[in-house]
Each structure stands twice: as structure tokens, then as C-alpha cells.
Amino acid sequence: MSFGFPELAAIRLGFGLSPLTPPPADVEAVLAGPANAGPGPEAMTTEKASEIATRFRTGLKARRENRPEPPEAKKADRQLGTMLVEDLRRRTIRALEDPIGFGERLVQFWSDHFTTRATNKVNNALALAFVDEAIRPHVNGRFEDMFFAADTHPMMLVYLDQISSRGPNSPFVRRRSERRLGLNENLAREAMELHSLGVGASYDQKDVRELAELLTGLSFSHQEGFAFRPQWAEPGAETVLGQSYGGQRRGGLDDIRAALRDIARRPETASYLSRKLAVHFVSDDPSEDLVEALAATWRDSGGDLPQVYRVLVSHPEMESGLRAKVRQPFDFCVAGLRALGIRGKQIAGLELADFRRAVWGPIEAMGQPWARPKGPDGWPEDADAWVGPQTLAARINWSLRVPRQLLRELPDPREMLVSTFGGTQSEPLAWAVPKAESAAEGVALILASSDFNRR
């Protein structure tokens, strides 16, 4: 059986083939995904997140004071307690309903590129707002807009400690010299090292410090919301990568926007992110040719993402080196559900406990606890990071258990082999599947195979 662009694009750029949806006919079909990856009707906002957080805190306060918890506080507590699971469910549903999946794969990619994490339950809703407000609106837009939205979003300010950073010479600090307040470089450093230029680029500690000083003034609290507070800001101009910002006309947020825009437009950012895209979608070790093709378009277009995606999708390398990548656990589960012909609606109808059993728990066992990455650099890309004895056992376990949990009638493994791989299946797998002793084991074999766990 022959295969071509449609199958390869579905497997490498989307969440795999499905018996319900045809694979993309051409490049345009793939690129329609990111155009539809914007915030949905159920999008979380910072405002809503703060409202829930504030209610939750009235409960904490009541408990501290030995007063009965108000019912609306209890409700907020429950909401926050299940919010990340419901978020995973929402993302799973959108991934299943995206005809190809490229759009939702990009949401995953960019949310991970701009990693945040709610380390305190009170911020669980804010973590959702981050994706809906900073990532989704810009997935099919310009990188510099996403960069600014992400690195000034309340969730990022909280996660990378920006809310505790104060200009050492700011009026706020000078009035409180006894409190030893000062600069926190965390966000400034990651903005350059992880989010744009890459660690290999030619910036130095002075650039980090000056950007950190420029970022002072960004503030957020659930009570008072997001604000630029001039009294926290370091006075005077800051020079970042040779460019001066601020100066006499202290522009606050506008200076920050200008600085981040200039960083986003640098060629190092084009190269760093082009490589990262190629590594994520094509190979742990992509060719220079592919990376340079992406970077050239990035530079020429000023980081216009749809144009960059187009180069990626239509590059000849999409047709070679299939299965260089291992599907990350979330991608694996979504691809598995798709291959089983399960629709978003069915996931939406599951009891929460059943959804936990089908996706939330398994991806944790596979090494990717949802919304809980280990550090600001996000999830690893290399295949080795995802395939160890424990985590492979979890993948096999899922393959054996979840199809029977969710389906009354399992697909015929021989038909599923065709609908899942569209001719890309390896000879050993094609040999083995018909020899399984039951449909359940045939299905498990397909899902646990290295063919399926790679893309």
C-alpha cells in the first residue's frame, strides 16, 4: 500500500490518522488548523481566574479565623481542584475535533515553549487563561505579538517571579531600604535564553540585567489585577543588545513592548525558533537545510507564523525520515483515541473519574503530568526522554486497558492497522497484528507498537 503527503502530514504534523476523518489532501488543509486554533467559547480569562481565586481565598481566610466557609468559596475550591483535569479534557476534545490536528499541536508546542505552571492551586485558573489569552490568539499570527503577550501575562509574571522584582533605585524600594527589595532576573533571562534568542546567542549578563530593569513595574495580583506600576520601575534608560529603551520619556509598558519586539525580530530568534519547530515536528536532529529554510522565511516575514508553517508543511523533508520522533504522552493518548474512532463528544460525556483513568493518570505515568512540567524549559524533545522501562510499560498498559474502557465494540485489528497507519506500518507490525490471539490484544499491539509511538 502506498502512502504520501496526506498520511505523512496527518501523522507527523497532526494527531495521526483516524477512521472518522480523511487525512489532509494538501498543504492548505493542514494550514487551516492553526487558523482555527483561537480561543474557544469556553475560554478562561484573567478576570474570571481572579474572581475564582478571590472567592477561594475568602474560604482560606474563613478557615484561618475558624469561621464557616462561605458556599461560594467552597465552590471555588472545588472548581480549582478539578480545573487542570478539566483543562486536559478540554484540550483533548479540541485535539480530537481538529480535523488534522496541526493547530492543536501548535497550541501544545507554543504553550510548552512559553512554559508556565501554577505551583499554587489558587492560580490553576490563571494557567488556563495564559493559554487562552497569550497563546491561542497568536498561534496563527506574529511571533512578536505572542512573545509580548506571553511574557507580560499575569501567569508568566507569577511563574517567573516578575511580580517580586523591583527596580533597585525605584521610588518603591528607596522608601523601603530596610526590606532589601530588588531586582529579580528570572523572567528577563528566560525571555532571552528560552523564549527568543536561545542560550547560544550573543547576549550577556549585562543585557539580562538591563532587560530585568526594564521589566520592573510589571505587576499582578488577583485583587488588583495586571498593572504597570511606575513606582516599582527602575528609573533611566536601559540598554539591551545595544538598543536603548526608556530614557527620559519613561513609557512603561510601551518600552517593554519595543524591547521584546526588537528581540523577537533578531536573526538569532529566527534561527533558534526555526530549529525548535523543526526539532519538534520533524526530527531530533533536523537538517540545516530545513532549519535555514524556516529561518529565512522567519526573517523575511518578520516572524509571521503562518508563512513559517507553510515552509515547514511543504518542505521535502516532511516526506523522509518518518518516525524519527517519539509521540509525547499527551499526543500519544490523543492519537490513540483518534485511531480508535473516539470523538470529542464521548470524552466530554465521561465521568470525571473515568476521564482521569483514561487520560490524566496515564499521561502522568508516561512521564508527562499535565500542566506540571519540571522547569521553565518545558518538556524534553529527544526520543530517549520518553521511552524508559516505566514509561513504556505505562504506554503498553494504556493500549491494553483504555480501548476496552471506552469502547463497547473494539475495531477489527486488521482494519485498524490500515486506518491507523495508512500504509506506513512496518513489516514486523503488519506481520504481528493478525496473529494476536484476540481483538483486544491486536488493538493493544497496534497502540503499543513503536510504529504508533513514533511519528
Which residues would be at the binding site for another protein (CB under 8 A)? 326, 354, 357, 361-362, 364-365, 383-384, 387-394, 396-397, 400-401, 404-405, 407-410, 412-414, 426, 428-429, 431-442, 444-445, 448-451, 453-454
Min dist CB 452 to another protein, Å, is 10
- Which position has the grid cell 488534522? 100
Min dist CB 443 to another protein, Å, is 10
Q: Which is nearer to another protein, 40 or 423 (CB)?
A: 423
Min dist CB 242 to another protein, Å, is 44
Q: Which is nearer to another protein, 14 or 362 (CB)?
A: 362
Q: Which is nearer to another protein, 65 or 409 (CB)?
A: 409
Q: Which is nearer to another protein, 236 or 434 (CB)?
A: 434
**Dist CA 31 CA 28 (whole Å):** 5
From residue 109, give the alpha-carbon distance in Å to each of 199, 268, 365, 378, 413.
19, 19, 21, 10, 31
Min dist CB 429 to another protein, Å, is 5
- 8 A C-beta contact, residue 102 and residue 455: no
Q: Which is nearer to another protein, 200 or 389 (CB)?
A: 389
Q: Which is nearer to another protein, 12 or 315 (CB)?
A: 12
Min dist CB 127 to another protein, Å, is 22
Min dist CB 412 to another protein, Å, is 6
From residue 211, give the alpha-carbon distance in Å to each of 9, 205, 234, 287, 418.
40, 10, 11, 33, 54
Min dist CB 136 to another protein, Å, is 30
- 8 A C-beta contact, residue 17 and residue 338: yes
Q: Which is nearer to another protein, 136 or 395 (CB)?
A: 395
- 8 A C-beta contact, residue 453 and residue 395: yes
Q: Which is nearer to another protein, 142 or 327 (CB)?
A: 327
Min dist CB 320 to another protein, Å, is 18
